[in-house]
Amino acid sequence: MIEKATVKVWRFDPTVDQKPRYDTYHLPPGNWDRVKVIDVLRYIYENYDSGLSFRESCRQGFCKACALKINNKMKLACEVFLEKETVIEPAPNHTIIKDIVTE
């Protein structure tokens, strides 16, 4: 069990923002080490920030729509479990649509 999880999410809206930033979310104590990153993004969206943009589709690793840079490694958010401290960024070398959503 993780007493407290900290998630930093890369944020950028090219239609509004001049430069990207990271927003930090402190999750309450819980079994976060048993929760996939995609579910944590959904939790953040539903409980902290409904303006957060991310992709979720098949949730089974088939479509690859949730490919992100998680703690400096390219991974699928639907396959990776959250760590006590997690940094989530968009896939590199892709055009940013908004936040961690890329073309």
Rounded CA-CA distance 75/98 in Å is 19
Question: Can you tell me the distance from the alpha carbon of 43 to that of 36, in angstroms, rounded to the nearest whole number?
Answer: 11
How many domains does the chain divide into? 1
Specify the pLDDT at position 62: 65
* pLDDT given at position 1: 67
Q: Is the pLDDT of residue 3 over 80?
A: no
The alpha carbon of residue 39 and the mean position of all alpha carbons in its chain are separated, in whole angstroms, by: 9
The mean pLDDT of the chain is 93
Strand pairing category for 101-102 and 96-98: antiparallel
Q: Which domain holds residue 44?
A: 5-102
pLDDT single digits (tens) 54-78: 998 877 766 788 999 999 999 999 9
Look at residue 52 and give its three-state secondary structure: coil
Confidence of residue 12 (pLDDT cuts 50, 70, 90): very high
More confidently predicted of 80 and 61: 80
What would the DSSP string read from start to end of 55-83?
A: --SSSSSSS-TTEEEETTEEEETTT-B--
CATH number of the domain that residue 81 is part of: 3.10.20.30
* pLDDT value for 32: 87
Return the sign of the alpha-carbon dihedral for residues 16, 78, 56, 68.
positive
Q: Is the pLDDT of residue 2 over 80?
A: no
